[in-house]
Amino acid sequence: MALRSDIGRIRLLNEDQGWCGELEPGLVVAIVADGMGGHQAGDVASKLAVDTFREALQGSTAAMTLEERKTLISQAILQANEVVFDTASNNEQYHNMGTTVVAALLTNENGVLGHIGDSRAYQWRDGVLTQLTEDHTLVNELVKSGQITPEEAAKHPRRNVLTRALGTDPQVEVDVRGISWLKDDLILICSDGLSSMIDAAAIIETLQQNELDLEQKADRLVQLALQAGGDDNVTVVLLHHAEDTELEG
């Protein structure tokens, strides 16, 4: 697994937060949160969300069923929502802060994803890149209803307006889905500092370079976002289903 985060070329503060690790042999977790709210509030929101999420997953095991893990990831994100919302409500300087979140919980057999906002998860399998999450944004709603094209959405002046975020309301809906997870699959999770700066073709070109290891691929994706302007903080997590992640026995 590889994690990279960069402040970008414009922002004065990195409001993204990412974390990945193995909770126990055969159970891998990763999360990216992209905070917002100005005056360091976004930084606080994303860190609170990731820390609360990590805490909520303590004690989970690889033996859990897919349904149990779906419930777990949803509850962990809802717990993070509660903490961020309460902190924002009780501190004037954090008023209105919030964050996106995208998280993956993977065993050797399959995985679950949970997300809110426009941070994304992709799957790379057999030379094909598939977006696994759907952006909770105003422009995505316009695309779905046929009012604008995906090409227009990419340049729309309000493309950063979220329809759903973590921590801005006492209740929030989490999108949760199960995914297959096969040998040699890659999962990419990222903030929109990557996905809004480079297109799928540039991601594919990077992921198919077999001479690069996982760390180098993550580095290259961040560099491409910076070369494209680096308008935002950029965070990338890459997870690889490799032989050496197999459980022994």
Residue 85 phi, psi dihedral angles, 5° rounding: -65, -45
Task: Report whether 153 contacts 226 (CB < 8 A).
Answer: no
Structure tokens given for 40: 């360091």
What span, in angstroms and rounded, lies between the C-alpha atoms of 199 and 61? 36
Tell me the domain boundaries of the chain.
Answer: 2-244
φ, ψ at 146 (rounded to 5°): 80, 10
For residues 221 and 81, give the distance between their C-alpha atoms in angstroms, rounded to a whole number. 29
Question: Tens of pLDDT along 50-71?
Answer: 999 999 998 899 899 999 999 9
Q: Answer for the pair 227, 10: CB distance below 8 angstroms, yes or no.
A: no
pLDDT digits (tens, 9 = 90+) for 158-206: 888 999 999 999 999 999 999 999 999 999 999 999 999 999 999 999 9
Q: Which CATH number fits domain 2-244: 3.60.40.10, 1.10.10.60, 3.40.50.1370, 3.40.50.410?
A: 3.60.40.10
Cα distances (Å, whole numbers) of residue 92 to 12, 95, 132, 171: 22, 5, 36, 20
* Residue whose entry in the numeric block shows the structure tokens 């960069």: 6
Q: How far is CA 141 from each of CA 80, 148, 169, 174, rounded to the nearest angstrom?
A: 25, 9, 20, 17
Q: What is the pLDDT of residues 192-202, one digit of tens each?
A: 999 999 999 99
- Can you give the C-alpha Rg of the chain in angstroms? 17
Per-residue confidence (pLDDT) for residue 137, from 0 to 100: 95
Single-letter code of the amino acid located at 130: T
